[in-house]
A = this chain, B = another copy of it.
Amino acid sequence: MIDMKEIQVLKVEEGSVVTPIGFKSAGVHAGLRYSKKDLGAIVCDVPANCAAVYTQSHFQAPPLKVTKESIAVENKLQAVVINSACANACTGEQGLLDAYEMRAESAAHFGIKDHLVAVASTGVIGELLQMDKIKAGINQLEPTNTAEAASDFQTAILTTDLVMKKACYQTTIDGKKITIGGAAKGSGMIHPNMATMLGFVTTDANIDSDSLQAAMKAVTDVTFNQITVDGETSTNDMVLVMASGLAENNQLSPEHPEWDSFVSALQSTFEDLAKQIAKDGEGATKLVEVNVTGALSDVDARIVAKKIVGSNLVKTAVYGADANWGRIIGAIGHSVATVNPDVVDISIGSIQMLKGSQPMAFSEELAKQYLEGTDIVIHVNLHLGNGKGTAWGCDLTYDYVKINASYRT
């Protein structure tokens, strides 16, 4: 989307949601899970301009409704409070009342207005929040800007995730250092269009909320919406960005000469988190990246890439280190993108297997060796135009079945 060559974006290895100026976080054990931390918050020193994207499921859980209401007031947030273990979804009127109460309790605890608080929940669908534990937990939240506080927050938002997910990138705008930090959760029920995933991103950039929303939308389409673990979409998912403005650059908008630097840093943060989610897909042993070029449009390229990375048969072949490119053809053939079936090239890693839709001789041994790695890249060239796109996913393993055949029990 952006020409990355002229833009300096640096990864901050130790960075997190508390690295941008003005942000603190916390995570506590409220007792919703047996022993792990299960309630977290990010707070900002000032009301932060914000932007958000939400699940496209027909069923949007109460916390999403309440968060949307908060943001609608003045497009600002000063705190976001998240619980794991219980999604507060399909919980009707009581669920909505509980989400409001979770917001009110948080606002009171942090001494800010209700509409400056966003709430999010993730976990089992159809159960009510244990409000006594939620409220007690909220009152234990003492946000700080330490690495430990970031880690507590990153842990508290997880469900079946095996690892915490964080990212941090910096760029320079108007001579000021701009930092973007993020945390995310997501492991199963992960698919394009905000499936079961939560993402919380902080930045000290000075940017108005409309511009932030525009940047976020563009960047989400090529990052979070391009990952899939199991083709499922959840009721609860959202990504929030809060911008404190404390870096004191001139206010960013698409007209700002260094706008692309901001978008690029935001994209780096989102992409990094998205790949971490894909790699930590339930039961996954490998990260799979599919790059499609030569499509009629970028949208077509992204469709084909997602179709391949979401194919159960491709995913099991990758798990089995089997260079079964026929399944890649199957997935491409099944997509709604424009495809000329006579001109397709396919490579796995650097090993080309199909040229002009014809099989090429290749070393099965080298292919197997490559597929036994943990980072698999599949390249497809449709030879129709200049459209390109990438998607990320993971392999489908025994453990995916194991985890999901016994999630609640």
Count of chain A residues near B, Cβ 8 A: 62
Nearest residue (CB) in B for A357 is B90
Contact across chains for B59 and A404 when beta carbons are under 8 A apart: no
Main secondary structure of the interface of A (DSSP, over half): loop
Given contacts A60-B341, A230-B312, A401-B397, whether A92 and B332 have CB atoms under 8 Å apart is no
| A232 at the binding interface (Cβ < 8 Å) | yes
Give A18 to B404 CA distance when docked, in angstroms. 44
Q: Are the CB atoms of B339 and A58 closer together than 8 Å?
A: yes
Q: Across the two chains, which residue of chain B brings its CB closest to A188? A: B313
Shortest Cβ distance from A354 into chain B, in angstroms?
A: 7
Copies of this protein in the assembly total 2
> CB distance B409 to A331 under 8 Å?
no
User: Is the CB–CB distance between A330 and B57 below 8 Å?
Assistant: yes
- Provide the residues of chain B in CB contact with A58, threshold 8 Å: 332-333, 335, 339, 341
Pairwise interchain contact A405-B317, C-beta atoms closer than 8 A: yes
When the two chains form their complex, are residues B396 and A359 in contact, meaning their CB atoms are under 8 A apart? no
In the assembled complex, A231 has its CB within 8 A of some CB on chain B: yes
Complex contact B126–A326 (CB within 8 A): yes
Interface check A329, CB cutoff 8 A: yes
Measured in the bound complex, the distance between the Cα atoms of B126 and A354 in whole Å is: 9
User: Contact flags (1/0) for A343-377 with B, using CB distance below 8 Å?
Assistant: 00000000000101111000000000000000000
Closest to A397 in B: B401
Smallest Cβ-Cβ distance to A399: which chain B residue: B401
Cβ of A256 within 8 Å of any chain B Cβ, yes or no, is no
Across the two chains, which residue of chain B brings its CB closest to A128? B359
A59 CB, min distance to chain B CBs, angstroms: 4
A339 to B58, CA, bound (A): 7
Q: Is the CB of B406 within 8 A of A322?
A: yes
Residues of chain B with a CB closer than 8 A to A341's CB = 58-60
Which of B334, B357, B397, B409 sits near A191, CB closer than 8 Å?
A: B334
Would you call A125 an interface residue if the criterion is a C-beta within 8 Å of the partner chain's C-beta atoms? yes
Instruction: Output the least CB separation between A366 and chain B (Å).
Output: 15
Q: B232 touching A319 by the CB < 8 A rule?
A: no
CB distance from A10 to the nearest CB of B (A): 37
A320 in the interface (beta carbon within 8 A)? yes
B189/A313 in contact, CB under 8 A:
yes
Chain A interface residues toward B at CB < 8 A:
55-60, 87, 89-92, 124-127, 188-189, 191, 230-235, 311-313, 316-317, 319-320, 322, 324-327, 329-335, 339, 341, 354, 356-359, 396-398, 400-402, 404-409
